[in-house]
């Protein structure tokens, strides 16, 4: 999973060619810690996506601009256009994340 240090780098990466999956999280978040162990497996199952870790606290401007007020959350992009979002404050299971990704446009 890639991690960028600045808001500008995150926005630029999400707008780049190809499929991107932004994963909004924070170290203190118990629901984020719940899904983090499953993330390497999820990434391996969806190699057509570049997964980008976004620390919500370090990148609050991006989170606010993208309407992410609960974590963990996921926003999918394809060639710079948002194709779907799984954004709320609820705990997410591996199966829920996979169902979200499977429901995205091909």
Q: How many CB atoms lie within 10 A of CB 106?
A: 5
Report which DSSP code applies to 42. Answer: H
Mean per-residue pLDDT over the chain, rounded: 95
pLDDT in tens, 96-106: 999 999 999 98
Residue of 32, 42, 63, 71 marked catalytic: 32
Q: What pLDDT, in 10s, does the model give residues 39-71?
A: 999 999 999 999 999 999 999 999 999 999 899
Q: Which residue is catalytic, options 10, 21, 29, 101?
A: 29
Query: Any catalytic annotation for residue 29?
Result: yes
The verdict on whether 46 is a catalytic residue reads no
User: What is the arithmetic mean of pLDDT over 23-33?
Assistant: 95
Domains of the chain: 2-100 (3.40.30.10)
Burial 61-75 (b: 16+ CB within 10 A, else e): ebbeebebeebbbbb
Whole-structure pTM value:
0.94
Please tell me the predicted confidence (pLDDT) of residue 31.
95
């Amino acid at each position: 999973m890639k991690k960028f240090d600045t808001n500008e780098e995150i926005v630029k990466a999400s707008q780049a060619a190809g499929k991107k999956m932004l994963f909004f999280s924070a170290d203190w978040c118990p629901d984020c810690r719940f899904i983090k162990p499953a993330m390497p497996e999820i990434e391996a199952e969806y190699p057509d996506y570049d997964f980008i870790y976004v620390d919500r606290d370090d990148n609050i401007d991006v989170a606010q601009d993208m309407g992410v007020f609960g974590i963990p959350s996921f926003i999918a992009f394809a060639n710079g256009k948002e194709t779907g979002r799984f954004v709320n404050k609820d705990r997410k299971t591996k199966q829920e994340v996979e169902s979200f990704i499977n429901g995205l446009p091909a």
